[in-house]
Structure 1
């Protein structure tokens, strides 16, 4: 089910960018988040046991995707940016 959700999400994002001229996905983590939303929607088709297993798996996946997005969106401080040492060597 996860593979189908990821493929469906990629297809939907592609269609939005090609035909609707809407925003592009900036990170693969956004694809994962959209796929988890689809899996949560589809989970109602399964038994309560499988639903709880899916929910547990999606929590883990979403926490990983959230941490990746948080690291990417954090601005780099100019004090922490690497210095250009090419001038100092010459």
Structure 2
């Protein structure tokens, strides 16, 4: 959220949808996964993938409305 706010404030990049923020968060989580080891990395990757999958389902519901 903080990075999205900074982009909007300082770079004048408008946030078109809240989904942008969630996908950005997932990208950071997946990047962070690479810095972890063992079971922590697996759990973090699985969590990021679940969040991304849920967000994609939510996008489909919103587009269908």
Q: Structure 1: which 4+ aligned runs deviate by more than 3 Å? A: none
Q: Distance in 2 between matches of 1:70 and 1:30?
A: 14
Larger radius of gyration: 1
In the alignment, structure 2 segments of 5+ residues that lack a partner are: none
TM-superposed CA distance for 1:20, in Å, is: 1.3
**TM-score (structure 2 length as normaliser):** 0.79
Counterpart for residue 66 of structure 1: 56
Which structure shows the bigger proportion of residues in helix conformation? 2
Q: How far is the alpha carbon of 1:69 from its aligned partner?
A: 1.3
Aligned partner of 2:21 in structure 1 is: 31
How many residue pairs get matched? 65
1:1-90 correspondence runs (5 A): 10-27=1-18, 29-74=19-64, 76=65
Q: Distance in 1 between matches of 2:54 and 2:28?
A: 17
The runs of 5 or more residues in structure 1 that have no matched partner are 1-9, 77-90
TM-score normalized by structure 1? Answer: 0.61
